Structure 1
Amino acid sequence: MKKIVLFFILLGIPVLAICQVTVINLLNSVNWEEGEEGLLKEYPNDIEKKDEVYLRGLLYKSYFKEVVIGDKSTHGAILLDSIDNNYIREFSIRYEDKSGRNCYKYIKSEIEKEIGLPDESNEGGINLSIWFKENSYIKVSSFFDSSCTVTIKPINSIRPVFRKARFGDSFQKIRSLEQKENLSDRNDFYIFEDYLLGSKCNVTYLFGYGKFLQGSYDLLNEYSNKNDYIELYNTLKGSLSSKYGVPNNSNVVWIDKLFKDNRDDYGIAISLGHLKYTTEWHTSDCRIEMELSGNNGEISLSITYRDLELFFLLHKYMVKGEIDDKL
């Protein structure tokens, strides 16, 4: 680096213009696997330490002194994993513009100059644009014209979140990990049968734009006594709670209270769509949602693992019609 700086000094080119940290070079050059240690080596003079605080469940203890895009510059937060503090979870950079210019539109246009049109964009109410790269994605979001936030995050989760897979893994990688025959003939689904705590189930990996975005278990048990589904639900809930802790949300929802006063008929109530059980766990890596519901005499029990940021992409992918609406 010193030789490069000296070369540009000899050429009479301002060193600041060469060495400044920009949104685009962060997006293109960050090595998520090397973590904070690698980042400090890459940008030894550009990062400032600060008192440790937690922001949205992530550890915030250092920041870029200046991150530039177009004619705007500000500091950028470096947010680390709350469990393993070396792992970088995201860069968060908030820009403001007091000139009367629409900050979101300006930042978006500057990014488009460098990497093209966004993969997804929504304007009106909450302005949001997302660009996906090989290992990272960048999001520009705004509630107000005078400010916007640029977020850069890794596509891959840092730990396995669903069986052996990390969000962002490719179809080929997960197929090689599972080594099961695919029951689907589509390249955006990988489905096979397995067992979960002794209960038969379908395992489904769902992909969008070539990336693993959502995983689910769909239980296949059939019981003549429909209350046995509630017992299985509670067994699975206990197992998940032992792994992920106390649920963030747990609800018993009555849509029709016809059978509410007779617990022996709760299974029937579920099968008719009168009653639904839901439980959620929120971890630093994903959201886990379990649901017991039914309709027309049938009952379904499923557990879904998803990353909320990537689920936005999945939703858009489904709306485009590339995935049907059966999920």
Structure 2
Amino acid sequence: MRAVTESGVAIDLNEDGTWTAAKHGAAPFTEGFRKAYWGASRSEVKASEGSEPQLEQDEYLDFEVRLGRFKCLAAYIFVGDQLVRGKYLITEEYQNQNQFLTVYEELKGSIDKKYGSPYKDETYWLNDLYKDDYSEWGMAVGCGHLSKFSFWETSGSTINLGLFGENFDVQVSVEYAGKIFDGVEDALKEARLLGDL
């Protein structure tokens, strides 16, 4: 059976409950993560990277890459051997945790240049102990007191830039998700849970 998503992309629903992107001689999607289109297989992603992954699991492939001047991991997330999300995880280490705020702002500026202003830009304070002292904001992030998120949208993808931390471990990530696959991961997790009950 063939279905068409709200965004107009055709997918084939198989009798066993799995689905595949409908292909008609061309890539079914025009967007994706790095050089891979949404719905790409693991082998297609490996070919697009041109190297072996640092980590390979059932639902993930991780590659060491550079994003501009930053060292990072490029994580590809799959459901049913189809690429549904991709994420850059910055792996740079800094003595002064305020540097992570600089990294966040630099990446935000670059994403703004490519996609325009974010449709949502949020700063969350769970504890305002360091709120009035900018020189301690990096510490606030590392303690889990402060987090920042910005969101963009294209016709086929959502993009989320995040700065957050816990136990003095600060993370900066840029996540891309194929709109056509919204809810697919959650549905799979729920199906696994229900199968185990």
TM-score normalized with structure 1 length: 0.53
CA separation of 1:312 and 1:259: change in aligned 2, threshold 3 A: same
Q: Does 2:44 match 1:173?
A: yes
2:182 corresponds in structure 1 to: 311
Give the secondary-structure state (helix, strand or coil) at the position aligned to 1:257: coil
Which amino acid letter does the alignment assign opposite residue 253 of structure 1? Y
Does the 8 Å contact 2:42/2:83 carry over to 1?
yes
Give the secondary-structure state (helix, strand or coil) at the position aligned to 1:316: helix
- Number of residue pairs aligned between Structure 1 and Structure 2: 188
1:314, distance to aligned residue in structure 2 (A): 1.5
CA separation of 1:198 and 1:281: change in aligned 2, threshold 3 A: same
1:132 corresponds in structure 2 to: 19
Q: Does 2:160 match 1:160?
A: no
Give the secondary-structure state (helix, strand or coil) at the position aligned to 1:169: coil
1:297, distance to aligned residue in structure 2 (A): 0.9
2:61 corresponds in structure 1 to: 190
Mapped partners of 1:184, 1:209: distance in 2: 18
1:116, distance to aligned residue in structure 2 (A): 4.1
1:207 corresponds in structure 2 to: 78
Give the secondary-structure state (helix, strand or coil) at the position aligned to 2:36: coil
Does the 8 Å contact 1:214/1:305 carry over to 2?
yes
> Of 103, 113, 118, which residue of structure 2 is paired with 1:247?
118
Q: Does 2:142 match 1:235?
A: no
Give the secondary-structure state (helix, strand or coil) at the position aligned to 1:168: coil
> Rg: which structure is higher?
1
Which amino acid letter does the alignment assign opposite residue 123 of structure 2? V
Alpha-carbon displacement from aligned partner over 1:164-216 (angstroms, at most 9, x marks no partner): 11100111111111112112242421111011111100011111101011100
CA separation of 1:134 and 1:225: change in aligned 2, threshold 3 A: closer
Alpha-carbon displacement from aligned partner over 1:202-251 (angstroms, at most 9, x marks no partner): 01111110101110000001111111100010000000010011101111
1:263, distance to aligned residue in structure 2 (A): 0.8
2:92 corresponds in structure 1 to: 221
Does the 8 Å contact 1:156/1:169 carry over to 2?
no
TM-score normalized with structure 2 length: 0.85
> Of 150, 155, 169, which residue of structure 2 is paired with 1:298?
169
Percent of paired sites with the same residue: 26
Mapped partners of 1:133, 1:221: distance in 2: 37
Mapped partners of 1:134, 1:90: distance in 2: 8
Mapped partners of 1:227, 1:321: distance in 2: 41
Q: Does 2:123 match 1:268?
A: no
Give the secondary-structure state (helix, strand or coil) at the position aligned to 1:294: strand
Mapped partners of 1:161, 1:116: distance in 2: 27
CA separation of 1:135 and 1:297: change in aligned 2, threshold 3 A: same
Structure 1 stretches (4+) deviating beyond 3 angstroms? 318-322
Q: Give the RMSD, CA atoms, in angstroms.
A: 2.7
> Of 120, 123, 128, which residue of structure 2 is paired with 1:257?
128
Structure 1: tracts of 5 or more residues without a match = 1-23, 31-77, 81-88, 92-111, 120-130, 137-154, 323-327
1:90, distance to aligned residue in structure 2 (A): 4.5
Does the 8 Å contact 1:291/1:302 carry over to 2?
yes
Determine which structure has greater relative contact order: mean sequence separation of CA pairs < 8 Å that are 6+ residues apart, divided by chain length: 2
Does the 8 Å contact 2:142/2:168 carry over to 1?
yes
Give the secondary-structure state (helix, strand or coil) at the position aligned to 1:306: strand
Give the secondary-structure state (helix, strand or coil) at the position aligned to 1:281: strand
